[in-house]
């Protein structure tokens, strides 16, 4: 069963994933929606919405907000 990322909806996270060319990529994204197949997110690198397949996401790290 693939991982699901509903708990990250509404949050900004850093992910490491395999892109369509099987290259490791790190992105900072704001998760807009998630389902069993993937998540729709705003990609801060591309400045556009993107779809990320859950099966290609290797790691997720929540981004801590700075205070001050």
User: Residue 4 has what pLDDT?
Assistant: 75
Model-level pTM? 0.85
Query: How far are the Cα atoms of 28, 42, 49, 64, 66 from residue 54, in angstroms, in the given order?
Result: 15, 15, 16, 22, 28
Q: Mean pLDDT over residues 12-33, rounded?
A: 96
Nearest CA to 41 out of 67, 65, 5 is that of: 5
User: Residue 28 has what pLDDT?
Assistant: 97
pLDDT at residue 32 greater than cutoff 80: yes
User: Residue 21 has what pLDDT?
Assistant: 95
Report all structural domains of the chain as residue ranges with CATH numbers, in order of start: 6-62 (2.30.30)
pLDDT by residue (tens digit) across 38-59? 999 999 999 999 999 999 999 9
For 49, residues 6+ apart whose C-beta sits below 8 A from its C-beta are 32, 40, 41, 42, 43
């Amino acid at each position: 069963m693939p991982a699901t990322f509903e708990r990250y909806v509404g949050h900004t996270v850093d992910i490491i994933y395999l892109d369509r060319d099987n290259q490791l990529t790190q992105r900072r994204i704001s998760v807009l929606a998630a389902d069993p197949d993937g998540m729709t997110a705003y990609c801060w690198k591309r400045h556009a919405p993107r779809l990320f397949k859950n099966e290609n996401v290797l790691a997720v790290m929540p981004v801590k907000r700075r205070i001050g």
